[in-house]
Structure 1
Amino acid sequence: MANLLVDMRDQQFTLYEMLDIEGLSKYPKYAEYSKDLYDAVMNEAEKFAVNDIMPTNEIGDKEECTFSDGKVTVPKAFHDVFKKYVEGGWITVADDPEVGGQGFPAVIGICSGEIFSAANFAFNMYPGLTHGAAKLVEIYGNEEQKRKYMDRMYAGEWGGTMCLTEPGAGSDVGALRTIAKPIGDGKFKISGTKIFISAGDHDLTPNIIHPVLARIEGAPAGTKGISIFVVPKYRVNDDGSLGDFNDIHTGNIEHKMGIKGNSTCTLNFGDNDDCIGELLGEEGKGMRVMFNMMNEARLGVGIQGLAHSSAAYMHAVNYARERLQGSDLANFRNPEAPRVSIINHPDVRRMLLWMKAHVEGLRALMYWVAYCLDVSEGTENEEEKERHHGFVELLTPICKSWGSDMGFRVCENAVQVYGGYGYTSEYPVDQFMRDCKIASIYEGTNGIQALDLVARKLGQNKGANFVNFIMEITKTIEQNKANGVLKNAFAELEKAKNTLAEIGGFFAQCGKEGKFLVPVGNAMPFLELMSNVTLGWLLLWQASIASIKLEAIKKEKGVTDDDWVGMAALYKDSKDASYYQGKVAAAKYYAAYVLPHVEATARAIKTEDMSIMEIAESAFADV
């Protein structure tokens, strides 16, 4: 079966030619890993995704999850794939061998996660959330909790979730009403209702472990009074066997636009006053604990957007090559002219190049952030550790929000490439778009991500993380001053980078002057501005490598740019040449058509216009 999910050549380029992940072996943590091992993992991931996971995507969308007599059933096809997923060790591919993991760098886990998510994201949420819950227990649990819960989740024997949202507490987590009553020995009776819980109940595993945010009786209001508890669906006996049902009842499952193969549940804890949970970590530190899982989940949501956009783009390119419609532009007046594939038409090419630039830019972003995480965890140099950890902190909101927003836009463009057929269920692009939409909403809406970026991340580490990031972009620009092929593109990037730095300083000044509404009201425009600069930098970094390698191929083949026939033959015969030419074209297109938006956005921000707050509530509409 063909891989229409992820461009594996682009994965290879990003890993080895851009990031040089083989260099991670200089750190003791990764000393035993090599390109051969990385390639073996990625080859297995591709085969498993294409042959086993991908065929279940449409099945999950059509069959959906079902809820009957208080029990949730997932699509039947998911069971065999889940078993293979667990047997393949994919849940812990990038975890420490001490907890049963394979120890690969996080960037390899991100790569496999991308292709699995592209194959069937609704399915991939089950093991993904299980991993996140197990990681919380690994970091904050006591030895007994690790033995009882973590080991079984990492082994894929039991599932896991993340239980935050309540009917009256969504983004405002501090308003939650779930209560924990102490009963001694670190145990509590849990009572309350959680909604929109992904993978909240299912029949893939015999037990599901719920990390639940709740307020201990008498704790202060707001987020400072929140603690977190490990609450299993079935209690666990001392010998590890399943005990009594833990009074967690599924109220219903949601009927959704997309990700229909994943159960989104309402969970009622303690209807019969018999739901027992164990404190995880310290009292009143629930948000700090949960943010570990949320940050992992937010990077995962960014991967979701990348994965959907990658699959949508690959399908759109394939369709555009096969679909015959109209004649070549040079023969448009000739009714007898042969029909050509729509990939020859300028507007289709425009959409495809826009999609290519954003998909490959997002991939570079996600992989670079994962690489920075690997460096921060591998190095023993404190300055290097702090610098790379700072990049992860700074860019997590951008990974989540821009990955999901642009992922959806790519899917939207894929539907447009398909034309009328894209609006039908005959092809998979409508499902990619429906499945992708939730990514901008859950795990903290993208508006919340923008506020996090502006209010917390820009000033984090006394602003050093942001300054270091600007310096990284500057370094790439300085290294490519002599690149004639990309001279104009790098000039555009330099202007955009300077504008980004300027607006960062402008926001800091607004804060000093008490104009807090200016950065808050412009948080989303700023996130868009910074995201555009970030992708522009990464694409031009890649293009600078590709342009050098393309020139070497042309020189080796004795072909020059003014030899149109020779160049056409080169791109037809050499996959490397055509790939590198595509990298250069995508970066130049992005610099010419996307980066100019940076200056326009900055100009709007600097007006300090507050129309969004000045308009009367009643003036929006008479409803």
Structure 2
Amino acid sequence: MASTYIDMETLKFLLHKVHDLESVLKNDRFEDHDKESLDMFLDSVKEFSDRELFPYFKEMDETPAHHKDGTVIVHKQVDVMMKKGGEMGLIAAPFDYEAGGLQIPFMVHTAATYIQDAANNHLPGYAGLTQGAAELIVHFANKELNDAYVPNMLSGQWGGTMCLTEPQAGSSLSDIVTKATPTDDGHYKLNGQKIFISGGDYQYVENVVHLVLARIEGAPAGTKGISLFVVPKHRIKENGDLEFNDVTTVADFQKMGQKGYCTTHLGFGDADDCKGWLVGEANQGLKYMFMMMNGARIGVGRGAAAIAMAAYQASLQYANERPQGRKLQSSGKKNPEEGQSLIIEHPDVRRMLLLQKSIAEGSISLILLASRYQDILESSKDEEEKKKAKLLLEILIPMVKTFPSEAGAQSVNTGLQVLGGYGFCEDFILQQYYRDIRIFSIYEGTTGIQSQDLLGRKVPMENGKALQLLSSEIMETIGKASNHNDLAPYAKKLGGKLKLAQEVIGSLMQYAQKGNYERYLADANLFMEFLSHITISWLWLDMATHAKVSLVSGDKTHSEEFYESKIHAMKFYFKYELTKTTSLAETLMDSETLTVKTDQEVFI
């Protein structure tokens, strides 16, 4: 197993220099925090991850979570994650003081969880789902529900989940049928089933608090009739004791990856004794859930970015240790009497490692940028700044969730190739990263759903305002990069790609204007890839510009080699990845329609 899993130097460079955490700290909400204290927090998370997460990563894959006697048995480190993580404030970190939180910036919380994800992506989800469920209660539930559930959730004594998906509905939430029947006692009786519930049941917490989407009898059809309920596995009696609430674990799902992170099938009300408490107003459940969805999708992208980084670190270590073959001489031949070369000396291996590096580091830069916008939304008192951050966050979120998941899988796959035959063997960790990352393009809305959201909702949003703001941000970076002779050609190239994006959108928009939305969205996945390459290239140009400024000014907090490596990775991404937008644009603007269903049968 590799000896390292993360690059803390790059993480702090992105936090402090590129995405300017210090400007976020100027908001009153974060007045108790400074750079030094937050760096200490991140260092403590790294130490915790080194000790309690990373050493158990392979073991958790080899001893999967499993259903037994009506519950799910998970690895003992889940207990450590919840209890010690609770003590360290890892669950409570971004919450307000009034809720029992540490009130740290979401950027820092994201960075801290990224460290944990990179160390062992099977563990942080238990705490993360608990945090998400508690967040829904804090934001939308009454004081009684807050007092009853949130303290034990933030401490890690109780777990939490979000229950959306049903067997017959899948991603189509308008088709859920879990029923909520009102009673005269102020609660509802729940009846139904939910599937793919991460962290749905395990032996190391006293209770699991489920946030359940259900339909009150007589509610409108579709998504307008969905309400949100707090449904604990064990309800609280008047004397404070817990009693079973008729929430049963029907089964678990045995998966190809993330085997230590349990995924359950839950039944509610099999004995007609499941009580739930309405969160907020009736028929507003989906609205409440999706108000939290940006954070959930940032979390998915963050997890994928972390796996891509850990896989890159493992590939890099292997390439620096593995001797094989010999370098070509100027004659074009190899000298068999020479000693073997380390594989990192071979150009093709270096190409693969640079691909991994550029995807992994570009992904976490994207995640931290989205987290920064989230912080501005929650803490700024400048309404114009908040409005701008909201629109930028909205257009980025589909890419935040998708690019690290899809490109990250490509990156880990490339890492397998770096290891050659050993990459396919269980003795080396790359095969586990490859299996683990595959789910991330499915979590919280598949790539297809995210792509339709990007092209169908976010691009036209407010007459294209969000896209205009993103273009302005990119142009600002292009302007700064153009001041440096060696970066100017790349700035010019990115400017050309922005113009190409306008052509592509104009070509596609003609279908929407004619009401042919199926054709407009038919190639949304390709548009996602197209715009993601432009966005990640922007972030790489931004990183390279910050690196260049440090080199020129002499204001260096890292080594010269560190800054040069960022500029080199930017150049690599522009040459090998940004150029793919040309072929993607050609496909997107091609008028031939081949995937929209017609009367002609093509699958024969």
Deviations 1:125-176 (A, max 9, x none): 1000000000000011000010011222122111001111111111111111
1:385 alignment partner AA: K
SS at match of 1:620: coil
Is the 8 Å Cα contact of residues 416 and 422 (structure 1) preserved in structure 2? yes
SS at match of 1:485: coil
1:171 maps to 2:171: yes
Matches within 5 A, 1:155-554: 155-239=155-239, 241-330=240-329, 332-552=333-553
1:74 maps to 2:64: no
Distance 1:368-1:401 versus aligned 2 partners, 3 A rule:
same
1:605 maps to 2:588: yes
Structure 1 residue 502: Cα displacement: 3.2
Structure 1: distance between partners of 2:94 and 2:597? 50
Is the 8 Å Cα contact of residues 65 and 75 (structure 1) preserved in structure 2? yes
Structure 1 residue 56: Cα displacement: 1.7
Structure 1 residue 614: Cα displacement: 4.8
Deviations 1:255-276 (A, max 9, x none): 1101111111110111111101
SS at match of 2:209: strand
Structure 1 residue 617: Cα displacement: 7.7
Structure 2: distance between partners of 1:97 and 1:253? 36
State the match for 2:148 in structure 1: 148
State the match for 1:585 in structure 2: 568
Distance 1:220-1:317 versus aligned 2 partners, 3 A rule:
same
Structure 2: distance between partners of 1:158 and 1:374? 27
Structure 1: distance between partners of 2:173 and 2:262? 22
- For the aligned residues, what is the CA RMSD? 1.9
State the match for 1:49 in structure 2: 49
Is the 8 Å Cα contact of residues 357 and 587 (structure 1) preserved in structure 2? yes
Distance 1:3-1:96 versus aligned 2 partners, 3 A rule:
farther
State the match for 1:560 in structure 2: none
Deviations 1:82-110 (A, max 9, x none): 32211111112222111111111110011
1:13 alignment partner AA: F
Structure 1: distance between partners of 2:300 and 2:276? 28
Is the 8 Å Cα contact of residues 194 and 266 (structure 2) preserved in structure 1? yes
Structure 1: distance between partners of 2:532 and 2:184? 49
State the match for 2:23 in structure 1: 23
Is the 8 Å Cα contact of residues 86 and 92 (structure 2) preserved in structure 1? no
Deviations 1:41-61 (A, max 9, x none): 111111111121111211211
Structure 1 residue 551: Cα displacement: 4.1
SS at match of 1:452: helix
SS at match of 1:196: strand
Structure 2: distance between partners of 1:502 and 1:263? 45
Is the 8 Å Cα contact of residues 56 and 78 (structure 1) preserved in structure 2? no
Is the 8 Å Cα contact of residues 402 and 528 (structure 1) preserved in structure 2? yes
Q: Which moved more, 1:355-364 or 1:499-508?
A: 499-508
SS at match of 1:258: coil
Identity %: 37
Is the 8 Å Cα contact of residues 501 and 531 (structure 2) preserved in structure 1? yes
State the match for 1:125 in structure 2: 125
Structure 1 residue 501: Cα displacement: 3.0
Deviations 1:415-435 (A, max 9, x none): 111111110110111111111
1:579 alignment partner AA: F
Deviations 1:199-218 (A, max 9, x none): 11111211000011111111
Deviations 1:537-584 (A, max 9, x none): 00001101112323456x99xxxxxxxxxxxxxxxxx96111111101
State the match for 1:569 in structure 2: none
Structure 2: distance between partners of 1:438 and 1:498? 34
**Which 5+ residue runs of structure 1 have no aligned equivalent?**
557-573
Structure 1 residue 479: Cα displacement: 2.1
Is the 8 Å Cα contact of residues 329 and 345 (structure 1) preserved in structure 2? no
Distance 1:2-1:43 versus aligned 2 partners, 3 A rule:
farther
Deviations 1:446-487 (A, max 9, x none): 100111111111222332111111111011112222321112
Structure 2: distance between partners of 1:424 and 1:159? 35
Structure 2: distance between partners of 1:529 and 1:209? 40
Is the 8 Å Cα contact of residues 298 and 370 (structure 2) preserved in structure 1? no
Structure 1 residue 73: Cα displacement: 1.2
Is the 8 Å Cα contact of residues 163 and 197 (structure 1) preserved in structure 2? yes
1:119 alignment partner AA: A
Structure 1: distance between partners of 2:58 and 2:291? 32
Structure 1: distance between partners of 2:472 and 2:65? 49
Q: Which moved more, 1:429-438 or 1:512-521?
A: 512-521
State the match for 1:571 in structure 2: none
SS at match of 1:250: strand
**Which 5+ residue runs of structure 2 have no aligned equivalent?**
none
Is the 8 Å Cα contact of residues 3 and 50 (structure 1) preserved in structure 2? no
Is the 8 Å Cα contact of residues 6 and 314 (structure 1) preserved in structure 2? yes
SS at match of 1:619: coil
Structure 1: distance between partners of 2:587 and 2:365? 29
Structure 1 residue 615: Cα displacement: 6.5
Is the 8 Å Cα contact of residues 216 and 225 (structure 2) preserved in structure 1? yes
Structure 1: distance between partners of 2:18 and 2:197? 38
Structure 1 residue 314: Cα displacement: 0.6
**TM-score when scaled to structure 2?**
0.96
Structure 2: distance between partners of 1:617 and 1:249? 47
Distance 1:589-1:41 versus aligned 2 partners, 3 A rule:
same
2:78 alignment partner AA: F
2:235 alignment partner AA: R
**Hey, which bits of structure 1, 4+ residues long, moved more than 6 A?**
none
Deviations 1:378-421 (A, max 9, x none): 22111111001211111111111111111111111111111111
Distance 1:294-1:7 versus aligned 2 partners, 3 A rule:
same
Is the 8 Å Cα contact of residues 496 and 596 (structure 1) preserved in structure 2? no
Is the 8 Å Cα contact of residues 326 and 339 (structure 1) preserved in structure 2? yes
Structure 1 residue 518: Cα displacement: 3.0
State the match for 1:559 in structure 2: none
2:175 alignment partner AA: A
Structure 1 residue 220: Cα displacement: 2.1
State the match for 2:6 in structure 1: 6
State the match for 1:595 in structure 2: 578
Deviations 1:320-357 (A, max 9, x none): 00011111222852111111110000100000111111
Structure 1 residue 25: Cα displacement: 2.8
Structure 2: distance between partners of 1:415 and 1:242? 51
Structure 2: distance between partners of 1:14 and 1:391? 19
Structure 1 residue 618: Cα displacement: 4.6
Structure 2: distance between partners of 1:503 and 1:333? 48
Is the 8 Å Cα contact of residues 52 and 77 (structure 2) preserved in structure 1? no
**TM-score when scaled to structure 1?**
0.93
2:61 alignment partner AA: D
Matches within 5 A, 1:564-575: none
